[in-house]
């Protein structure tokens, strides 16, 4: 096919250019000739010279490309003219090279040439095969032909595929630029492609000779000629188009990969070791620009505020996005389904709202393309339904301003949606959140007023049934509070055990619901941290007050004032590095108390008075006090400012609320948002993308919850109108007065008339002018009945609530002015407090909570420099790489133990029993000459020391009599392979589970016998059920009658006397129908698989109660018998629902769930 004839003959163009040669060809500083740029006026003059029959750019292109030999006629030197001859080469696969890769062309040119074949798969060919294009003709000379069609390769699709095939063949850094791809449906060739390297100017030619059939592989014969072997001076990258761009967008924008991660994955796929950087892998900057353009293209408007305004009008967000502010920026959003769920929830429960904030979810943006926003936090109000064990979000806010005014505006806007106010609100120790909650949910405008009212209620200045009782119970999340306490700066330099005693004392304060207990505990804390010495008085030789109060603290933290059934987990996180921790905790602590520093606080004054009282108990003792931390005093006093918020002391006043208050539900919601909802989104992200994903998640969760409630016939789903018993009239308007006007139906307004006042709540104390303070004297036994430290503490006097006579006794007229000034200061300071989310995502560690008693503290020697973090774990003797050989009693031979797991597992459970049971520890301590019991006691009190493994070796050699084998260098190997039954019989032979004795009923026979049973053998059913264990104990201890002997016709009565201290029970399971324990050895019985929670916790015999301490688990050997070589581990029961795995092949005890399955061999119970 031949194209139509050109409008201007080439000879005319050449003549015109030569006419203007002096202006077309110029010379540079190096005297080199060059063609002037296309913008030069000379090309316009040439266009006019030839009659305006050709454009200026076309003339410049004609000359620049050197067509029809014009460059030689202009005086440029003759260059190599590349042959475009189609070379027929044999068909080769992609990974093979032609034998004449570096052969020259037929003209004898010296430039290297490569010949190769591309093999396109059927899928690749479907992407790049030619397509027909049809266009209209406007040529008046051809009126009968209105359209014309031709075939082309798909635009932007075929070049990335060819470039990748080129790299797969040669691994060259050449950046190929394909200039044209011609398709000739009826020509001698089907496709012809021309390209060149933009760095080394090497030329590429590719040809497909015949049109391939459908579904077949396609071969393209190619040549590459030029200076590609020379080093490339610059590195260029191919422009991303077509499939390459689509792949990058899918990986970065959809899958959420970073630019560098995408480049790294492409490098693994394409680059071989030693190969150069390929041009087909885009640069990181180009990928970031691509991502930015794609993100910008998906936005509703280039201005973010305008986009949000448009978004608010869309059907999907019309009734969800409620309020939007510009300066400062904020956005309130919640859906109607969330409101419905919350209203139904309030009909069956006291509403309890958890509020928190998080960052790193939304990027900063420009407001009106001028000013950039501050950091944007996500605030969330969430309800945890304890009845149904689930949580749901009720409202959210995105805001760049984080003070109490912004937060209270958000909460007030939500309340105006005609929803019941929460009766309990939980947040972290943030003054901004606490103050906003006080303003929005209570009848008081400042947190200071709320705290003073709490003090008045605790001291009976205000009756508990008064209308002045706050309408909402404000709580501080215990996890945040204990975390802050655990990072107090003075506790950073003290030993681990001292820190634990202090923090567990704080835990006792948190749990306490009595001001008397808090007073006693606080006084003891002040005494022990301010007395440098303890022990006995140097003059009187009696115990010093510090020693007595230390005993109180140890007793309280090891047993507690009350017993708790469930531990509170996941409170203490991994500590930051020392410097970072000091900086962050100091900022957190100061921020938490911002707004209260300059104000009178009754609880702070009360704590100061308690500290002054403790000074009278300072005495010189005979020994140093390991708990001496005087720098902790101001921190403790400051901590008391918010006592009603972080302790349970207000629970009796409100008559509701959990003993330990947690905001773990909202933290879990934030975790779900960041790791599940936004899994495929890189955070922080654009605010539009965030809202689209978050709103979709909230709507879906709400719909699922509504459907679930309806299917379960939950009371929440009832359409019947139920009167709200816990909330005030929702239609009243908000007032920023101290007390609001409430509906007469409010349960807290007992009178017929409603009060509305503009003065401080302290004015209510005027009603108590005739109150007899002597009636409020409370006797607190601060030590015990023998310590003679009984004191009368007038709590009303010490809780310095500023009533009218306390402000100014001589000038009553100044009372109102002082109150108003104090209140105004409170209002201003609290409004200035900010919420500063600066928590980092750190690896978390499960740890025993400081809120529960730790029996281990009773036995710790606080003066010992060895720091014990938890009960120790013995190392198996087979871990020779971790242990040294131990000396024996004669101090000459050294012994190495092997397979000590049976001894270690039994010792671990006895160690737990010694620690957790005071009666059992007294029983073990009563045998001072028993080396094994002394070894257990030493483990609990001192931990692992340098002599621990020597003592273990001595005990094993003395009791177990292991097989000995002499090794080199006077080292003896003691093989401790033994079953658990053998170990118990050897170590506890003097302390059996049952003692049995028999006596004949005949007066003639005098046979009597007595024997010991080290452990009971209990045979389970087919399903391994242990529910019959209590009945088995009762039957086993009954009297059994047997025939005496052949020579005696009397009956022998066998009596059993069970141990009053412990029970060891061997658990068996026989397979078959008629097997009994007398027919087979216990070593042939199957292992019993049992769930830890199914093991009976308590066994009772007569008046003795035995508590489960642990179970012995056995990993059986290949034979499957109990006497095979396996591995013993101990599962120890700590508390009601907590279990720990003690494995002597591990470094530390491992917490396990109570629903874990074990192969149980022995159960151990103690008193």
Contact in structure between 399 and 410 (CB atoms under 8 Å): yes
Which of 4 and 293 is assigned the larger pLDDT? 293
Q: Which of 58-72, 773-787, 1066-1080 has the lowest mean pLDDT?
A: 773-787
φ/ψ region of 569 (left if φ > 0, alpha if ψ in -120 to 50, else beta) reads beta
Which of 1073 and 118 is assigned the larger pLDDT? 118
Cα distance between residue 551 and residue 784, in whole Å? 10
For 234-281, write each residue's pLDDT tens digit. 889 999 998 999 999 999 888 888 899 999 999 999 998 888 999 999
Q: Is the pLDDT confidence value at 99 over 80?
A: no
DSSP 814: G
What is the pLDDT averaged over residues 836-863? 50
- Alpha helix (H) residue ranges in 416-534: 431-441, 447-458, 478-486, 496-511, 515-530
| pLDDT value at residue 564 | 32
Nearest to 1159 by CA among 1106, 1086, 1078: 1086
Which of 965 and 176 is assigned the larger pLDDT? 176
Nearest to 824 by CA among 1051, 537, 598, 548: 598
| pLDDT value at residue 422 | 96
Which of 842 and 1086 is assigned the larger pLDDT? 1086
- What is the Cα Rg of the chain in Å? 44
| pLDDT value at residue 204 | 94
Sheet architecture: strand order including 424-427: 321-325, 330-333, 390-399, 377-385, 352-358, 424-427, 473-476
Cα distance between residue 864 and residue 951, in whole Å? 20
For 1113-1133, write each residue's pLDDT tens digit. 988 765 555 556 788 999 998
| pLDDT value at residue 637 | 93
Reported as a pLDDT band with limits 50, 70 and 90, residue 756 is very low
What is the pLDDT averaged over residues 513-535? 91
Query: Global pTM?
Result: 0.60
Going by C-beta distance under 8 Å and a sequence separation of 6 or more, which residues neighbour residue 553? 501, 505, 521, 524, 525, 528, 627
Q: Is the pLDDT confidence value at 764 over 70?
A: no
Q: Is the pLDDT confidence value at 690 over 90?
A: yes
Q: Is the pLDDT confidence value at 141 over 90?
A: no
Nearest to 1113 by CA among 909, 967, 941: 909
Question: How much is the mean pLDDT over the chain?
Answer: 78
Reported as a pLDDT band with limits 50, 70 and 90, residue 322 is very high
Cα distance between residue 174 and residue 163, in whole Å? 10
Reported as a pLDDT band with limits 50, 70 and 90, residue 838 is low
Which of 814 and 1148 is assigned the larger pLDDT? 1148
| pLDDT value at residue 755 | 27
Q: Which of 69-73, 467-471, 964-968 has the lowest mean pLDDT?
A: 964-968
For the ranges 6-20, 553-567, 732-746, 855-869, the maximum mean pLDDT occurs at 6-20
Say which residue the tokens 């699922």 belong to. Answer: 704
Q: Is the pLDDT confidence value at 713 over 70?
A: no
Percent of the chain exceeding pLDDT 90 equals 35
For 337-394, write each residue's pLDDT tens digit. 999 999 999 988 889 999 999 999 999 999 887 889 999 999 999 999 888 888 999 9
Q: Which string of DSSP letters, residue by residue, matches 1080-1115?
A: S-GGGSBPEEEEGGGS-SEEEETTEEEEEEEEEEEE
Contact in structure between 399 and 331 (CB atoms under 8 Å): yes
What is the pLDDT averaged over residues 660-679? 91
Write out the H or E segment, with its range, that includes residue 377: strand 377-385
What is the pLDDT averaged over residues 758-782? 34
| pLDDT value at residue 852 | 56
Please give the sequence-ordered ranges of beta strands (E in DSSP) within 889-1039, or none if there are none.
Answer: 894-898, 963-966, 971-975, 994-1000, 1008-1013, 1016-1019
| pLDDT value at residue 379 | 97
Q: Which of 213-227, 520-534, 574-588, 1000-1014 has the lowest mean pLDDT?
A: 574-588
Q: Is the pLDDT confidence value at 876 over 90?
A: no
What is the pLDDT averaged over residues 602-612? 92
Percent of the chain exceeding pLDDT 70 equals 75
| pLDDT value at residue 3 | 58
Q: Which of 253-267, 292-306, 694-708, 738-752 has the lowest mean pLDDT?
A: 738-752
What is the pLDDT averaged over residues 148-153? 88
For 169-211, write each residue's pLDDT tens digit. 888 999 999 987 899 988 889 999 999 998 888 999 999 998 8
Say which residue the tokens 């149980």 belong to. Answer: 1160
Which of 973 and 475 is assigned the larger pLDDT? 475
Q: Is the pLDDT confidence value at 841 over 50?
A: no
For 16-39, write each residue's pLDDT tens digit. 999 999 999 998 888 888 899 999
Residue 119 bridge partners (DSSP): 219
Q: Is the pLDDT confidence value at 89 over 60?
A: no
Q: Which of 493-497, 589-593, 776-780, 1103-1107 has the lowest mean pLDDT?
A: 776-780
- Domain range annotation of the chain: 10-73, 113-225, 242-298, 304-462+661-728+735-766, 476-588+601-658+794-802
Reported as a pLDDT band with limits 50, 70 and 90, residue 539 is confident
Write out the H or E segment, with its range, that includes residue 1157: strand 1157-1166
- Alpha helix (H) residue ranges in 531-615: 545-559, 578-592, 602-615
How far is C-alpha 453 from the chain's CA centre? 38
| pLDDT value at residue 1003 | 66
Q: Is the pLDDT confidence value at 579 over 60?
A: no
Cα separations in angstroms, 961 against 274, 903, 964, 986: 64, 13, 9, 9
Q: Is the pLDDT confidence value at 156 over 80?
A: yes
Q: Is the pLDDT confidence value at 738 over 50?
A: no
Produce one character per residue of 362-384: b if its CB has 16 or more CB atoms within 10 Å, e if not. Answer: bbebebeeeeebebbbbbbbbbb
For 399-417, write each residue's pLDDT tens digit. 999 999 999 999 999 999 9
Cα distance between residue 1056 and residue 95, in whole Å? 87
| pLDDT value at residue 420 | 94
Cα distance between residue 12 and residue 28, in whole Å? 29
Produce one character per residue of 152-191: b if its CB has 16 or more CB atoms within 10 Å, e if not. Answer: ebeeebbbbbbbbbbbebbebbbbbbbeebbbbeeeeebb
Cα distance between residue 653 and residue 1083, in whole Å? 62
């Amino acid at each position: 096919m031949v194209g139509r004839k050109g409008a201007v003959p080439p000879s005319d163009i050449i003549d015109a250019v030569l006419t203007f040669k002096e202006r077309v060809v110029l010379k540079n500083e190096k005297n080199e000739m060059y063609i002037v740029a296309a913008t030069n006026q000379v090309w316009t003059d040439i266009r006019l010279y030839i009659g305006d029959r050709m454009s200026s750019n076309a003339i410049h292109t004609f000359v620049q490309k050197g067509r029809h030999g014009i460059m030689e006629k202009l005086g440029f030197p003759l260059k190599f003219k590349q042959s475009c001859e189609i070379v027929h080469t044999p068909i080769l696969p992609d990974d093979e090279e032609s034998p004449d890769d570096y052969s020259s062309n037929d003209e004898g040119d010296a430039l290297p040439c490569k010949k190769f074949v591309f093999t396109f798969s059927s899928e690749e060919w479907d992407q790049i095969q030619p397509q027909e294009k049809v266009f209209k003709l406007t040529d008046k000379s051809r009126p009968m032909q209105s359209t014309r069609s031709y075939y082309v390769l798909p635009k932007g699709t075929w070049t990335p595929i060819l470039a990748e095939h080129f790299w797969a063949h040669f691994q060259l850094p050449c950046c190929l630029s394909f200039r044209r791809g011609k398709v000739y449906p009826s020509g001698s060739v089907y496709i012809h492609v021309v390209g060149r390297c933009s760095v080394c100017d090497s030329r590429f030619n590719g040809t497909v000779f015949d049109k391939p059939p459908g579904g077949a592989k396609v071969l393209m014969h190619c040549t590459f000629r030029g200076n590609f072997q020379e080093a490339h001076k610059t590195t260029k990258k191919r422009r991303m188009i077509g499939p390459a761009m689509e792949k990058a967008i899918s990986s970065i924008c959809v899958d959420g990969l970073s630019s560098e991660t995408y480049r790294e994955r492409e490098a693994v796929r394409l680059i071989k070791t030693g190969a150069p950087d390929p041009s087909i892998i885009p640069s990181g900057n180009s990928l970031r620009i691509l991502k930015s353009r794609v993100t910008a293209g998906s936005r509703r408007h280039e201005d973010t505020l305008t986009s949000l305004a448009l978004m608010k009008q869309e059907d999907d967000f019309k009734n969800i996005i409620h309020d939007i502010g510009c300066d400062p920026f904020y956005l309130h959003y919640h859906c109607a389904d969330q409101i419905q769920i919350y209203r139904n929830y309030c009909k069956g429960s006291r509403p309890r709202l958890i509020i928190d904030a998080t960052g790193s979810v939304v990027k900063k943006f420009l407001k009106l393309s001028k000013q950039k926003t501050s950091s944007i936090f996500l605030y969330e109000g969430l309800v945890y339904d304890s009845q149904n064990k689930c949580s749901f979000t009720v409202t959210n806010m995105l805001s760049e301003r984080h003070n109490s005014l912004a937060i209270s505006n958000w909460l007030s806007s939500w309340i105006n949606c005609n929803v019941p106010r929460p009766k309990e609100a939980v947040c972290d120790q943030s003054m901004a959140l606490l103050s906003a909650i006080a303003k929005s949910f209570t009848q008081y405008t400042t947190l200071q007023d709320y705290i003073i009212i709490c003090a008045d209620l605790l001291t009976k200045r205000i009756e508990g049934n008064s209308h002045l009782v706050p309408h909402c119970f404000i709580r501080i999340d215990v996890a945040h509070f204990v975390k802050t306490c655990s990072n107090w700066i003075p506790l950073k330099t003290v030993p681990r055990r001292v820190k634990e005693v202090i923090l567990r004392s704080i835990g006792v304060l948190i749990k306490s619901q009595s001001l008397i207990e808090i007073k006693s505990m606080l006084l003891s804390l002040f005494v022990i941290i301010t007395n440098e010495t303890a022990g006995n008085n140097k003059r009187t030789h009696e115990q010093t007050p510090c020693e007595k109060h230390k005993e109180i603290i140890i007793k309280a933290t090891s047993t507690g004032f009350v017993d708790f059934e469930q531990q509170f987990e996941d409170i203490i996180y991994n500590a930051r590095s020392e410097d970072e921790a000091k900086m962050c905790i100091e900022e957190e602590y100061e921020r938490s108390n911002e707004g209260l520093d300059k104000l009178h606080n009754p609880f702070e004054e009360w704590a100061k008075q308690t500290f002054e009282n403790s000074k009278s108990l300072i005495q010189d003792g005979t020994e140093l006090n390991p708990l001496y931390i005087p720098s902790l005093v101001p921190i403790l006093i400051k901590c008391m400012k918010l006592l009603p918020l972080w302790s349970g002391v207000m629970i009796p006043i409100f008559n509701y609320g959990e003993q330990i208050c947690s905001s773990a539900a909202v933290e879990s919601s934030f975790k779900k948002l960041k790791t599940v909802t936004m899994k495929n989104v890189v955070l922080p992200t654009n605010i539009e993308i965030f809202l689209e994903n978050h709103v979709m998640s909230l709507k879906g969760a709400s719909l699922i919850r509504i459907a679930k409630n309806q299917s379960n016939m939950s009371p929440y789903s009832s359409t019947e109108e139920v009167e709200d018993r816990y909330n005030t009239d929702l239609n009243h308007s908000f007032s920023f007065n101290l007390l609001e006007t409430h509906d007469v139906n409010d349960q807290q307004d007992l009178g017929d008339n409603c009060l509305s006042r503009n003065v401080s709540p302290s004015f209510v104390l005027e009603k108590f002018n005739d109150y007899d303070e002597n009636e409020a004297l409370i006797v607190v036994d601060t030590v015990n009945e023998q310590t003679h430290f009984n004191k009368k503490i007038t709590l009303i006097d010490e809780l310095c609530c500023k009533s009218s006579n306390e402000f100014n006794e001589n000038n009553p007229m100044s009372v109102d002015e002082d109150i108003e000034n104090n209140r105004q200061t409170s209002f201003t300071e609290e409004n200035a407090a900010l919420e500063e989310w600066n928590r980092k995502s750190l690896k978390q560690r499960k740890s025993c909570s400081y809120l529960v008693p730790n029996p281990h503290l009773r036995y710790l020697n606080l003066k010992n420099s060895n720091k014990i973090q938890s009960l120790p774990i013995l190392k198996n003797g087979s871990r020779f790489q971790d242990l040294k050989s131990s000396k024996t009693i004669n101090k000459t031979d050294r012994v190495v133990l092997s397979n000590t797991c049976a001894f270690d597992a039994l010792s671990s459970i006895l160690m737990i029993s010694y620690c957790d049971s005071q009666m059992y520890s007294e029983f073990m301590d009563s045998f001072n000459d028993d080396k094994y019991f002394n070894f257990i006691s030493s483990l609990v009190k001192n931990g692992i020391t340098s002599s621990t493994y020597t003592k273990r070796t001595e005990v094993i050699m003395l009791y177990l009599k292991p097989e000995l084998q002499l090794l080199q260098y006077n080292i003896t190997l003691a093989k401790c392979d033994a079953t658990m039954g053998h170990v118990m019989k050897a170590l506890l032979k003097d302390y059996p589970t049952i003692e049995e004795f028999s006596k004949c009923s005949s007066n003639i026979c005098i046979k009597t016998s007595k024997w010991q049973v080290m452990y009971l053998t209990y045979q389970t059913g087919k399903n391994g059920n242990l529910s019959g264990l209590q009945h088995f104990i009762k039957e086993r201890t009954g009297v059994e009658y047997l025939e005496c002997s052949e020579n005696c016709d009397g009956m022998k009565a066998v009596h059993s006397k069970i141990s009053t201290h412990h029970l060891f029970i061997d658990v068996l399971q026989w397979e078959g129908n008629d097997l009994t324990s007398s027919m087979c050895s216990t070593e042939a019985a199957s292992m019993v698989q049992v769930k830890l929670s199914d093991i009976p916790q308590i066994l009772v015999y007569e008046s003795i109660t035995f508590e489960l301490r642990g179970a012995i688990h056995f990993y059986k050997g290949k034979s499957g018998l109990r006497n095979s070589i396996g591995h013993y581990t101990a599962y120890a029961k700590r508390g009601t629902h907590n279990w720990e795995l003690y494995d002597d092949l591990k470094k530390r005890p491992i917490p396990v769930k109570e629903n874990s399955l074990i192969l149980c061999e022995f159960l151990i119970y103690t008193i």
